[in-house]
Amino acid sequence: MEKLQQKIGYQFKNQRLLKDALTLAHGNKAATYERLEFLGDRVLGLIVADMLLIHHKNEKEGDIAKRFTALVREETLADLAKQIGIPDALITDAPELRDNASVLSDVMEALIAAIYKDSGFETAKSFVEPLYETMLDIDVTPPVDSKTALQEWGHKHNILLPVYKVISQTGPAHAPLFKVSVKMGDYDEVIAEGTSKKIAEQNAADGFLKLHAKGFKK
């Protein structure tokens, strides 16, 4: 925990908050980060939304919303968690969770909430803003995730909305693996896997686009 605090440049007054944010379920003990993650999701959302409105003053709300979704999605948060060293700071007896995108994303939000509770909103904002400043203008075209892109492709070709179905869920509760299929119109279904239902659906949509919608630009 000390290395993480040095990395992020913030020393907790209440070390228990940091410990709770980093503690995963193990043995017979429940995870402690989940309630903090719920709060952190809201704190992060407010900070990122405000940053986007300031940096993209002339964009429409719909385009801002797409940027927002890309910046707070699981994959982005997991990458940020790795950048600041969260995997090595996790308190768990299941080492495979240190590379689980869903877990890292949630713990990242829990850490934001812990900072908020320890020192207030402005401190949490000072922690979040530097992480996102270089990402606000990576692409002038608002990003579109694979599920949204598939839906837009279907609408363009007058095809019914895609239907996602969970085929199976394997692995332990703390490290599940989801297998999901996506079917759309008369096209063959595509099956993909992911460490969460959301990631599996995104992977399935991406696979569908690559197989059936060659040349389509997201």
By annotation, the residues acting in catalysis are: 41, 109
Collapsed DSSP state (helix, strand, coil) of residue 179? strand
Nearest one of 166, 171, 197, 202 to 181, comparing CA atoms? 166
**In the chain, which residue ranges form alpha helices assigned H by DSSP?**
2-8, 15-22, 33-55, 61-72, 74-84, 86-89, 101-119, 121-132, 146-156, 197-212
d(CA 157, CA 62): 22
| Cα dihedral: 153, 157, 161, 167 (round 10) | -70
| Cα dihedral: 125, 83, 54, 73 (round 10) | -100
d(CA 16, CA 8): 17
